[in-house]
């Protein structure tokens, strides 16, 4: 897939106010500070489309971007650590789940995972929840440029082994680096092929 255009459409906290469900949607989500905004900018070939920040938990709304006038990239708030009141965090969790349940045109959830960390309970729990609710997802490892190739492969293998303790089969796995552009073609091809297969 060639990215010809990508534009911000809207932000909100109410799935009922999201754009009309007339285009495929791919939702990006992960723990706070996983590098989501940087990955989105790399994927779309734009430096500042998704706002990056050194402060974890910066994304607090459902952000819709229309890509090639053909599909929506949805930037969801991160889960896990964020310097906000617990009540606010629980409110975010509620509207994220509502979005994931109700969006009929949601084709896939792109779950971002920091390759530098061992399998985290909140990541594993979130993916288990997606599986239990039959919401399609893939695993995207980020920040691979911070480690050597051998360590990256070892850490992916550790994650596979952990997942296979409770999963019969694993979703697609992508290894990426926003810094170097690794994994961009593979992710865009996956999105393109998923749209064509529907």
pLDDT tens for 105-156 read 999 999 999 999 999 998 999 999 999 999 999 999 999 988 899 999 999 9
**CATH number of residue 187's parent domain:** 3.40.50.300
What is the pLDDT, as a whole number, of residue 188? 96
| Mean of pLDDT over the chain | 86
Q: Which ranges in 31-137 belong to alpha helices (H)?
A: 36-44, 86-102, 121-132
What is the pLDDT, as a whole number, of residue 154? 95
Across 5-33, average pLDDT: 88
What is the pLDDT, as a whole number, of residue 50? 66
Residue at 166 is within a domain? yes
Residue at 1 is within a domain? no
Task: Tell whether the model's pLDDT for residue 80 goes beyond 90.
Answer: no
Residue at 152 is within a domain? yes
121 and 40 Cβ atoms separated by less than 8 Å: no
Where are the extended beta strands (E) located within 68-198?
A: 71-75, 106-114, 137-142, 173-175
104 and 21 Cβ atoms separated by less than 8 Å: yes
- Residue that wins the pLDDT comparison between 102 and 154: 154
- Residue that wins the pLDDT comparison between 85 and 102: 102
Q: What is the pTM of this model?
A: 0.88
Residue at 123 is within a domain? yes
Residue at 150 is within a domain? yes
What is the pLDDT, as a whole number, of residue 16? 83
- Condensed to tens digits (0 to 9), the pLDDT of residues 29-40 reads 998 889 998 999
Task: Tell whether the model's pLDDT for residue 85 goes beyond 60.
Answer: no
- Condensed to tens digits (0 to 9), the pLDDT of residues 28-68 reads 999 888 999 899 999 999 877 766 544 444 456 889 999 99
Residue at 54 is within a domain? yes
What's the domain range around 88? 6-14+23-197
Residue at 124 is within a domain? yes
* Total domains in the fold of the chain: 1
The percent of residues above 70 in pLDDT, for the chain, comes to 87
Separation in Å, CA 173 to CA 113, 135, 141, 159, 198: 10, 16, 8, 10, 20
φ/ψ of 173, rounded to 5, equals -120, 130
């Amino acid at each position: 897939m060639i990215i010809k255009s990508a534009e911000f459409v809207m932000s909100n906290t109410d799935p009922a106010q999201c754009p009309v469900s007339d285009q495929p949607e791919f939702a990006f989500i992960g723990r706070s500070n996983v590098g989501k905004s940087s990955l989105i900018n790399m994927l779309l070939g734009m430096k500042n489309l998704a706002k990056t920040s050194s402060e974890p938990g910066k994304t607090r709304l459902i952000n819709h971007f229309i890509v090639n006038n053909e599909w929506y990239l949805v930037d969801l708030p991160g889960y896990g650590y964020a310097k906000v009141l617990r009540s606010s965090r629980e409110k975010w969790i509620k509207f994220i789940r509502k979005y994931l349940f109700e969006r009929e045109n949601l084709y896939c959830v792109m779950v971002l995972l920091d390759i530098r960390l061992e399998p985290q309970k909140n990541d594993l729990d979130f993916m288990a929840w997606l599986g239990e609710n039959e919401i399609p997802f893939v695993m995207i490892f980020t920040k691979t440029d911070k480690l050597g190739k051998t360590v990256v492969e070892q850490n992916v293998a550790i994650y596979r082994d952990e997942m296979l303790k409770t999963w019969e089969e694993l979703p697609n796995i992508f290894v990426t680096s926003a810094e170097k552009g690794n994994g961009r073609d593979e992710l865009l091809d996956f999105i393109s092929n998923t749209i064509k297969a529907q």
